[in-house]
Structure 1
């Protein structure tokens, strides 16, 4: 394989061309470096190095203007916009930036393609007027302002050009337009030879420059043209070069350079479909691991999606001794970028207090946790423990000291919506972080911090030079734009080892082995996305590039990578999630349909090996240590919730009561259901404790209803948060709690109005008793808290409150043996019977009593009594009475359950939980 650049140099040297007098113009600086490297190996005697320029640098040289970046262009354009707009009509910078970037892009296109801007903008404003016509004679102010904007485009354009030219500056399109206007003067004042190498899609300004230099003998163009594509009038690869061959005067009656036939030579092409980006990166590692050192020297890994850089670097095999990363690492992908971005974002939206999720995002950032030595964990625990949803700056600072306090003050003191304060604090934060990091262990992080230091310096210079950015919101917009443009360069040997690059860096370069990733629709080619105010039809009318031309550019890059390669690996993502995510590129289909005779094309899919994992229920044998823990639990007392947890799933009992594992504490931003239950229970306890030992009255209940709002608020303050429940879901939940209590109290009043009497005996009484079991050599105790015990018309009731919905059939049993077999069916009767048993042990129940549930979501059903159903030939007979016999039968089942828990031969065996389809 002879690379295209080698072919060009060989031809020039064969003609005895004075290389030192030449200026080589190439599409990219990377290609220029490679040309000088190859030239050094070809010349036999010392010569002065020729000038090598990128096309952008050459255009600046002709125009005599310095090109500025997009951000500076945006600031300059805003100044121009303000100069030609009445003060009372000027939009703020945030609003302007939404359309300013798009309009600058269109100015670029108009200038690069040498469009008569006055006629063009006039045409565009006419289109907008037709699109938004109205039958009303008098247009509204909104319509007038809208049409006025389009009519002012020529004014904005002229003002921006004048303003930039006075400073010797220009945006890219303006550079090209001025270069095309000054090409004649350049030709007169310059000599030597300008050699253009490897170009494809040229804008109108570039075409004019090329043609004038060709016509005057100062220029020579070397096109990399493949005969297969050039002669196929339907193929997009040579779309532009076929146009130049027909339209340029220079080529009338002349051949369009040398046509190569290297694409048709023997090639091994593999098309591999792999799920997800990480899968692609891992597959690259597999391919490279099988290559020897010589093959690696002529291999390029080209990333269609440049976000794959880090995964690919982390997947390189051990046999890679050298790698050169051409593309640079995008600064926006650095971990510390998220820290600065989030700080700016939360400060821009800051009012009086900090939302806990914004706060924890900062303090839980790996870099913050590292430099505070875990000190930020104390604030996280405080937020969770005190359930703080919104925090003041004072609350954040009160438990911090030293380095951590300095860091918190920089981050969480208000920046007063002042961009200069923001940039100063961010710079100070970088210095603070830098002092803590180790120069040897944290080299990469320090490099990222240095790059952000440079970025904030640039931001500060912009703030000093331009006064447009007056809020943190507009600063955040500019920061996002700047960080998206910044890259961190890698150090390496550019001409040895494995080459890792993006698609644009591969222009003009040739490699024997090519591995191209993300060959998917939407990536190669990139699709129809367009950031422009110019309609498609208008672009076509003025020969401006559309998505069709963009597809042709991508086609050229894709096929050029394959043109001289011998071994090609084309990898695409098969993952179906997301738009077009799993659709392979049309270029792959085209390769299949137009397969050359000597091309060996193979297609296959690669999937990670996923072993079949059978779901096996866990079985935990009881060790002596576990038995000791069970004895402790038994001595402290088994509660109804502990026993029903065992019934539901013994593994949960093992985790909670043997290992002591509890659910991790999280901030309860929206009131949880258990908190709601606690608030309702404690509110009723507060009301009913005053009536212990006496009958409740209608007057007392009505008074309780009037006090419900304040008592509910007090209970939320106690159990939830000190923040007022004035909005959002929490306000609704507060109203639900209030409604539960009020509706219950009203139902009690209705009960009394019917002539019933209710005498309160106990409220939230904590009960304990021992349970002698002869076969166990250790004590067993029971404990529980009964919500309410009363006498209803002289008959005792044991009541358990439930804020959820409970139906009557959930408090009934048929066979006593079932009561500890099915949690879903029998957990409610188990609980109320255990409360009854505890109460019986405290004060023996000699006469019939009742036990049951009051469900706040089923109040119309009243008191849901426990029933023992007896099946016989005449139907179902229900017995609601709690008698010593009933409690004796329950005690027998209770002992059986506890014996199972305490039996060292019975392991904790996981139960298969029911799956619910929502």
Structure 2
């Protein structure tokens, strides 16, 4: 394969043109590197390098204006806007910047296509006058302001462009218009000493078209097109849309040949269309293709990986086989995809509302970020981890800066940089961001070799924040953190982290636009999906579609045709083509493969191999965990037995032995989340503790209506007190927490009302014990170590002479949950029998200590099911709601329970019975 650039150079030599005297104009800077390389292969002795410019550089030279970055232009435009707009109608910079970006794009289009300014702005104003939505004679203020804006557009444009020209600066469109104005003088000045070579162009705006045509007309240029016969001879093929227009519309080609139409596209090619799920899947498959190519000893310098989406760059770089040591990344990595960007995004988010206290998730996100986390490290621990633990233990939802400093006294300077208030002042924010960068740098400087990439990130962000500082000091338009964040995001998306590599050796990784003029034997193209290649019907413009058509401005059709050309040009001279697309549907971009793939099929020129690739997902046979009872485990069980089994720990074993093992044997506690909303266990604890405080002083006393009325009057204060203790500094004065706070009061009031109603009916209630700690030792045959049971009984009372053992439940419990048919079932089903097991366990312990006289009743009071009152344990003779049941607990009842209890404890302590996981629905 002979590349397009080399073919052009050979033709120039045949024309006897001296390469040193030529001025090459190319679509991109990247092509210039390859042009120099090909020149070196054609010369036999040293020569001066010819002048090589991109079209933008050439136009800038021709215009005499320096093109400003987009952000600088935004500030300059706002200065003009403020000077020409009545003070009452001036928008803030934050609001202005959102629509001014579109306006700048439109100014660019208007100037690049040489549309008469007066004409286009008057035309737009007239259209808006006709189309405005009010038919009223007296227009509203909103409509009036809207129409005023369109009337002023012409004035804004004129003042803005004149201001820039006076300072010899401009936006891209203005440099193009100025270049055309200067063209006549340029041609006169270089009539004999310059020859311009334009190569590889496709879509040209009106200014570029005029410049090239005038240079051709005055014999100061040669132009070389790179188009295939298949595309240019097909009247509807978008890849040849622009070259057909140039060939048919330029006067120059009525008397001169149209160079060059080739026939490479119809040559035999291996083209594969591959569907892969997700971005990372595509990146991994690119690595797999490269691995196969290396094994086939393919020359790496003849391979190009063309990325349809720039965010694929890092995943692809991480997926490249280790054997590839030489590569060149042409495209820059946008700073918004650099890991450090997420840190500053979180920092802006935390400070945007200028809070007096910081939300715990914002604090944890900042302290745990990889860029900051190492700064808190000491020899023994990491303060960031400790602060996170404090949040969990104390249930802190918001925390002040002073409190954070108390938690990290050794790192007050970093806490200050992260959390000291910005007071909605961009100057403060920028200074603290820059200070943070230097703080992070000082940490990475200790081991520069290991943190070279992180230091590069910091360097680029340092430049970015310095740019923002300079813009802010020069213009003073950033008057809030919101405005600063808007411009920060604009800069972040436009600034890139550039890579160093071998420009002519090894694997080439580039974006679609960087591939212009270049040829490769093997091409791998990613993200060939609708909405990406081509980009589709995006319309960021104030100029209506029909006006664009009338004024010959580009619409989405022309933009799609540009990408069609780039896509097909990559295929033109290639021998092996891998077209990869995302098979997963994306809500914003869609998941459909690109029309380009369908078009290749319909053309029928090449046999396209289609395949869908999916990652190998191993079949996981879920095996239930089984833990052997080693001697050390048995020792731990003995220790636990000596401390005492609680009814809840025993029912936890029934539910799932593995959970019992983790919690009681290994001592692994479940991770405690910070409760933003009051959790069910906190609600239950508040109810228990409140009732304990009410009833505890009445032990041994008869309950009276006066007692209960007093409790009712004190309920709010009591509930408040216990919420403050348990929920710490979390608030419960609004939102869901207020609802839960009210629910807690309602549960207690309803319970007290039920007690009042019961006494009113003549029932006599005597409080025997409240929250009584029970502990007993039992002997089990076959076990040579002590076994203890322990637990806390919520309430024991005497109801009309019958002793009742009562357990409170804040959740919903129904009568059937405290009934059994067969004693053997008690240890088998947690959901059905755990409540029965617990209340029987409490009754058993109290009887063993002779604290109660049989027969008794035991059961549950469910605060979510208060209407059903005291839910008594019952032994039924058969299943079903109509079965006969005995609700009195006798010695026989406890003897039967003791048998099952001892069976369970023997199983837990038996070295031959392992802890085996149960399948449960969590």
TM-score (norm 1): 0.97
Identify the range of structure 1 (374-383 vs 51-60) with the bigger mean alpha-carbon deviation: 374-383
Kindly indicate whether residue 108 of structure 2 is the aligned counterpart of residue 108 of structure 1: yes
User: Of 647, 663, 668, which aligns to 1:661?
Assistant: 668
Kindly indicate whether residue 719 of structure 2 is the aligned counterpart of residue 717 of structure 1: no
Aligned to 1:125: 125
When residues 565 and 675 of structure 1 are mapped into structure 2, their CA distance, relative to the original with a 3 A threshold, is same
Q: Distance in 1 between matches of 2:321 and 2:637?
A: 52
Secondary structure of residue in 2 paired with 1:565: coil
Q: Is the contact made by 1:846 and 1:883 (CA closer than 8 Å) also made in structure 2?
A: no
When residues 875 and 746 of structure 1 are mapped into structure 2, their CA distance, relative to the original with a 3 A threshold, is closer
Kindly indicate whether residue 821 of structure 2 is the aligned counterpart of residue 814 of structure 1: yes
Aligned to 1:767: 774
Aligned to 2:407: 399
Identify the range of structure 1 (873-882 vs 657-666) with the bigger mean alpha-carbon deviation: 873-882
Aligned to 1:311: 315
When residues 86 and 798 of structure 1 are mapped into structure 2, their CA distance, relative to the original with a 3 A threshold, is same
Alpha-carbon distance, 1:740 to partner: 1.4
Please list the CA deviations of residues 297-324 of structure 1 after superposition, one character each: whole Å capped at 9, or x if unmatched: 2111111112111111112213213111
Aligned to 2:91: 91
RMSD over aligned Cα atoms: 1.8
Secondary structure of residue in 2 paired with 1:781: strand
Secondary structure of residue in 2 paired with 1:52: strand
Secondary structure of residue in 2 paired with 1:398: helix
Aligned to 1:284: 286
Q: Distance in 2 between matches of 1:696 and 1:614?
A: 60
When residues 873 and 345 of structure 1 are mapped into structure 2, their CA distance, relative to the original with a 3 A threshold, is closer
Aligned to 1:626: 633
Aligned to 1:390: 398
When residues 761 and 87 of structure 1 are mapped into structure 2, their CA distance, relative to the original with a 3 A threshold, is same
Please list the CA deviations of residues 549-596 of structure 1 after superposition, one character each: whole Å capped at 9, or x if unmatched: 111111111111110111111122222454555322111111122132
Kindly indicate whether residue 883 of structure 2 is the aligned counterpart of residue 886 of structure 1: no
Aligned to 2:299: 295
Q: Is the contact made by 2:240 and 2:565 (CA closer than 8 Å) also made in structure 1?
A: yes
Please list the CA deviations of residues 161-219 of structure 1 after superposition, one character each: whole Å capped at 9, or x if unmatched: 12222222111111112222222222222341111111111111111111111112222
Q: Is the contact made by 1:327 and 1:500 (CA closer than 8 Å) also made in structure 2?
A: yes
When residues 61 and 644 of structure 1 are mapped into structure 2, their CA distance, relative to the original with a 3 A threshold, is same
Q: Is the contact made by 2:676 and 2:730 (CA closer than 8 Å) also made in structure 1?
A: no
Kindly indicate whether residue 82 of structure 2 is the aligned counterpart of residue 82 of structure 1: yes
Alpha-carbon distance, 1:137 to partner: 2.9
Q: Distance in 2 between matches of 1:687 and 1:122?
A: 82
Aligned to 1:338: 342
Aligned to 1:245: 247
Secondary structure of residue in 2 paired with 1:182: helix
Aligned to 1:227: 229
Kindly indicate whether residue 49 of structure 2 is the aligned counterpart of residue 59 of structure 1: no
TM-score (norm 2): 0.96
User: Of 411, 420, 423, which aligns to 1:416?
Assistant: 423
Secondary structure of residue in 2 paired with 1:263: coil
User: Of 800, 806, 826, which aligns to 2:833?
Assistant: 826
Aligned to 2:331: 327
Q: Distance in 2 between matches of 1:768 and 1:787?
A: 14
User: Of 683, 693, 703, which aligns to 1:686?
Assistant: 693
Q: Is the contact made by 2:529 and 2:594 (CA closer than 8 Å) also made in structure 1?
A: yes
Q: Distance in 2 between matches of 1:842 and 1:535?
A: 90
Alpha-carbon distance, 1:294 to partner: 5.6
User: Of 489, 492, 495, which aligns to 1:486?
Assistant: 495
What pairs with 1:126-525 in structure 2 (closer than 5 Å)? 126-191=126-191, 192-292=194-294, 295-373=299-377, 374-402=382-410, 404-437=411-444, 438-525=447-534
Q: Is the contact made by 2:703 and 2:767 (CA closer than 8 Å) also made in structure 1?
A: yes
Q: Is the contact made by 2:397 and 2:729 (CA closer than 8 Å) also made in structure 1?
A: no
Please list the CA deviations of residues 504-555 of structure 1 after superposition, one character each: whole Å capped at 9, or x if unmatched: 1111100111111121222211222222222222222222211111111111
Secondary structure of residue in 1 paired with 2:710: helix
Secondary structure of residue in 2 paired with 1:264: coil
Alpha-carbon distance, 1:125 to partner: 3.2
What pairs with 1:474-873 in structure 2 (closer than 5 Å)? 474-579=483-588, 581-596=590-605, 599-871=606-878
Unaligned runs of 5+ in 1: none
Q: Is the contact made by 1:797 and 1:850 (CA closer than 8 Å) also made in structure 2?
A: yes
Please list the CA deviations of residues 383-411 of structure 1 after superposition, one character each: whole Å capped at 9, or x if unmatched: 22211110000011113244x32111111
Secondary structure of residue in 2 paired with 1:524: coil
Secondary structure of residue in 1 paired with 2:539: coil
Alpha-carbon distance, 1:782 to partner: 0.5
Q: Distance in 1 between matches of 2:846 and 2:415?
A: 55
When residues 852 and 166 of structure 1 are mapped into structure 2, their CA distance, relative to the original with a 3 A threshold, is same
Q: Is the contact made by 1:574 and 1:582 (CA closer than 8 Å) also made in structure 2?
A: yes
Identify the range of structure 1 (768-777 vs 575-584) with the bigger mean alpha-carbon deviation: 575-584
Alpha-carbon distance, 1:434 to partner: 1.3
Secondary structure of residue in 1 paired with 2:540: coil
Q: Distance in 2 between matches of 1:188 and 1:703?
A: 106
Please list the CA deviations of residues 664-697 of structure 1 after superposition, one character each: whole Å capped at 9, or x if unmatched: 1221111111111111111111111122221222
Q: Is the contact made by 1:846 and 1:884 (CA closer than 8 Å) also made in structure 2?
A: no
Alpha-carbon distance, 1:359 to partner: 0.8
When residues 577 and 209 of structure 1 are mapped into structure 2, their CA distance, relative to the original with a 3 A threshold, is closer
Identify the range of structure 1 (366-375 vs 261-270) with the bigger mean alpha-carbon deviation: 366-375
Alpha-carbon distance, 1:91 to partner: 1.0
Alpha-carbon distance, 1:871 to partner: 2.9
Q: Is the contact made by 1:118 and 1:154 (CA closer than 8 Å) also made in structure 2?
A: yes
Q: Distance in 2 between matches of 1:48 and 1:862?
A: 101
Alpha-carbon distance, 1:92 to partner: 0.9
When residues 876 and 484 of structure 1 are mapped into structure 2, their CA distance, relative to the original with a 3 A threshold, is same
Q: Distance in 1 between matches of 2:283 and 2:433?
A: 35
Identify the range of structure 1 (548-557 vs 36-45) with the bigger mean alpha-carbon deviation: 36-45
When residues 258 and 722 of structure 1 are mapped into structure 2, their CA distance, relative to the original with a 3 A threshold, is closer
Q: Is the contact made by 2:644 and 2:789 (CA closer than 8 Å) also made in structure 1?
A: yes
Q: Is the contact made by 2:821 and 2:879 (CA closer than 8 Å) also made in structure 1?
A: no
Identify the range of structure 1 (234-243 vs 691-700) with the bigger mean alpha-carbon deviation: 691-700
When residues 697 and 591 of structure 1 are mapped into structure 2, their CA distance, relative to the original with a 3 A threshold, is same
Secondary structure of residue in 1 paired with 2:396: coil
Q: Distance in 1 between matches of 2:555 and 2:703?
A: 82
Q: Is the contact made by 2:199 and 2:223 (CA closer than 8 Å) also made in structure 1?
A: yes
Q: Distance in 2 between matches of 1:777 and 1:291?
A: 70
Unaligned runs of 5+ in 2: none
Aligned to 1:908: 915
Q: Is the contact made by 1:832 and 1:851 (CA closer than 8 Å) also made in structure 2?
A: yes
Q: Distance in 2 between matches of 1:124 and 1:563?
A: 42
Secondary structure of residue in 1 paired with 2:238: coil
